[in-house]
Amino acid sequence: MHRSSYDTEPAYGDGSAYAGPPLPGRRRRLVIAVAASLAALVVTAVGVDRFAAGHAESRTARAFQDGMDTPNRPSVHVSGFPVLTQLASGTLRHVDITAHDIPAHGSARPLPITRLTIGVDDLKASGDAGEARARAVDATAFLSYGDLSDALGLRLSQDSEPGRVRAAADLPLGGEVTVSAAVSAVSGNRISFTDFHAADGALSGPAQALLGSIFADPIPLRNIPDGLRLRSLTPTASGVDARFTGRTVTFRPDSPNA
């Protein structure tokens, strides 16, 4: 019986039969299996790294709360992937910290910080227990008018002129005086109120003396990590934003400025 060439499998020189290309279904299953394996490895790696990041964030939050004596743990976010390699090197490339209600101790006119937002570059532990140091820090502290009013002993609000606040005080013999005052940053991380003038009319002698004594001494911010310097103050509708920058900033428990 004659066999067609289509019925005969071609052979190589060694006599083995040519199996032909993989079937489309087999190839598809192979690709899917490889992709699934790679995806599982990526998910596992990301999960492990996220666990390490969470642990680092929790430790940083606990240390910051202990050092700054805040009532609640701050929010901490460690940036960059992978975090495991950063931890292995001992330096976190960038950390964002947001803390609330930082108290002010050791001041005759305590001024707590309503909210402190810190961006930290190259944070690493130092040789001393509980200390950490950062190469550079950019921070903004929000100071509410309520806390500023309590520290000064008068009532503060935003003024219509940029860079100024409105202050109202009760006079010793009755009545009230309202003035506009410029807000500025001075050395030693202090807030100064200067160039005050009556909002309406002229200031009387007693009013001038009262406000002069209230504004005579700048208010220090004692609850700021070592190495941060107050650069600018911006009055807003609900309070004053204080901007800080620093190089080689130290975070430590019981800091002199804490």
Residue 20: band (very low, low, confident or very high) from pLDDT cuts 50, 70, 90: low
Share of the chain above pLDDT 90, in %: 39
CA distance 99 to 258: 13
- pLDDT of 195 above 60: yes
Q: Which residue has the higher pLDDT, 183 or 13?
A: 183
CA distance 16 to 162: 90
* 8 A C-beta contact, residue 240 and residue 157: no
Cα dihedral: 91, 92, 94, 98 (round 10): -120
Query: Quick one: average pLDDT of 4-8?
Result: 48
Residue 148: band (very low, low, confident or very high) from pLDDT cuts 50, 70, 90: very high
pTM score, two decimals? 0.74
Query: Quick one: average pLDDT of 161-173?
Result: 89
pLDDT at 110: 84
Structure tokens of 53?
A: 């990041």
- pLDDT of 101 above 50: yes
Work out the mean pLDDT of the chain and round it to a whole number: 80
Give the dihedral sign, CA 67/68/71/76. Answer: negative
If we measure between CA atoms, which residue out of 76, 84, 109 comes closest to residue 251? 76
SS3 of 142, please?
strand
Q: Count of CB atoms within 10 A of residue 31's CB?
A: 10
pLDDT at 39: 47
Residue 15: band (very low, low, confident or very high) from pLDDT cuts 50, 70, 90: low
Give the dihedral sign, CA 68/73/77/83. Answer: positive
CA distances from 154 to 3, 106, 112, 157, 236 (A): 111, 21, 16, 10, 18
Low-confidence winner among 30-44, 61-75, 105-119, 214-228 (lowest mean pLDDT): 30-44
Query: Quick one: average pLDDT of 234-258?
Result: 80
What are the residues facing 246 on neighbouring strands?
137
Residue 109: band (very low, low, confident or very high) from pLDDT cuts 50, 70, 90: confident
Q: Count of CB atoms within 10 A of residue 189's CB?
A: 20
pLDDT at 42: 42
pLDDT at 205: 85
Listed ranges 38-42, 44-48, 84-88, 128-132; the one with the highest mean pLDDT: 84-88
Determine phi and psi for 224, rounding to 5 degrees: -120, 135
**Any idea how long the chain is?**
258
- pLDDT of 140 above 70: yes
pLDDT at 22: 53
pLDDT at 41: 43
* 8 A C-beta contact, residue 164 and residue 197: no
Structure tokens of 171?
A: 């006079």
pLDDT at 180: 93
- pLDDT of 248 above 80: yes
